[in-house]
Amino acid sequence: MDLRDELDEHELLALTPEGLLMLFHEPTRVIRLLNPLTCHLTNLPPVTSLLLEDKRSMYPAWLSGIQVYGVGLADAAASMVAVCFSHPRVLAVAKPGDVCWTVVYSGYLHSSLPYAGRFYCCVGTRLMVLNTTDQQPPRLMVAVERGSHMYFSQMADSLHLVDNAGELMLVHRSLYEDAQHEYKRKYQLYSVDLDAGALVPAKGFNGRAVFMGSRRSISLAPETFPSIAADTLYLGYDFDETKRIDLVDGSSYTSHDSMDGTHPYSVINCLSHCIQLNGEQLV
């Protein structure tokens, strides 16, 4: 059978950091992983049990459809996949051959990221790691506690994980009131020291640039595009402001690019709409 015919009844849910396509087979509600290079399909359990348990939402998952905002390998040796579902709002894991998904966490996660063979996520003010290495069921464990120097508002702030060319970093997006009593956004950067279990304040991305959306961040070298500035944070269109922030001197620039809903959704809004600088499209 032609692969295109076989995938007719599938919906694309997400692209994994490993380059696999996560698909939802609507008739059976099975989650499948497709390797686009080899056309190999791997079956994961159906999400039926997760949908039946999603009774907290005003809009049940069977009405709104399955949505995914984070995915990655939790244990490469066991081929275990971790998925952050929006509907239902759970973090669940499964591997090929499993009958059902195992719910690890129920609730909202600010950010998730597979890094160095493990799966990390931010729960409230804590950086958690998914533990799949002992004889107990998969569970979240604290990797880094928020330091006393970081004030965090559950309602207004968010945490964003970044794989910065092999270095795990975290961006704290916060809301503050300035001297004119106007509310503004502030972005503070930290390097994650997993051995010490601490967040170390950082001034930049070691000469790289990061494009950050509400769910995903991408680190790029300035040589990738001539108009990228080093140690700069570029925001996607899913935030309430569109700007770039120079993390070395703290300066910021608000783009005049309109946010009328016509921008591309993928790859941090197509790298912040082709890297808008000074109101001019340079790429």
How high is the mean pLDDT of the chain? 81
**Burial classification of residue 254, based on how many CB atoms lie within 10 Å of its CB (0-12 exposed, 13-18 middle, 19 or more buried):** exposed
pLDDT score, position 5: 62
Give the C-alpha separation, 115 to 217, whole Å. 13
Q: What is the mean pLDDT of residues 109-119?
A: 90
SS3 61: helix
Give the C-alpha separation, 190 to 252, whole Å. 18
Q: Does some domain include residue 283?
A: no
Cβ-based neighbour number of residue 239 at 10 Å: 16
- Domain residues for the domain of 8 are 1-51+60-107
Domain count, the chain: 1
pLDDT score, position 255: 58
Cis peptide before 88 (omega within 30 of 0): yes
Q: Does some domain include residue 194?
A: no
Reading the block at residue 108, the tokens are: 């909202």
pLDDT score, position 110: 81
Q: What is the reported pTM?
A: 0.84
Reading the block at residue 188, the tokens are: 């503070």
Q: Does some domain include residue 118?
A: no
Give the C-alpha separation, 72 to 269, whole Å. 21
The DSSP annotation for 171-229 comes to: EEEEEEE-TTS-EEEEEEEEEEETTTTEEEEESSSTT-EEEE-SS-EEEE-GGGSTTPP
Tell me the one-letter amino acid at 274: C
Q: Does some domain include residue 281?
A: no
Q: Does some domain include residue 10?
A: yes
Reading the block at residue 258, the tokens are: 């309109």
Per residue in 122-165, pLDDT (tens digit) is 988 889 999 987 678 899 999 998 766 677 777 788 899 999 99
Q: Does some domain include residue 74?
A: yes
Q: What is the mean pLDDT of residues 38-61?
A: 73
| Res. 242 pLDDT band, cuts 50 70 90 | low
pLDDT score, position 193: 96
Per residue in 209-220, pLDDT (tens digit) is 998 888 888 898
| Res. 271 pLDDT band, cuts 50 70 90 | low
Give the C-alpha separation, 158 to 151, whole Å. 11
Per residue in 163-174, pLDDT (tens digit) is 999 999 999 998
Comparing 4-18, 77-91, 102-116, 219-233, which segment has the lowest mean pLDDT?
A: 4-18
Q: Does some domain include residue 4?
A: yes
Residues in CB range of 209: below 8 A, 6 or more apart = 219, 220, 221, 222, 228, 229, 230, 231, 232, 233, 234
Q: Does some domain include residue 147?
A: no
Cβ-based neighbour number of residue 49 at 10 Å: 16
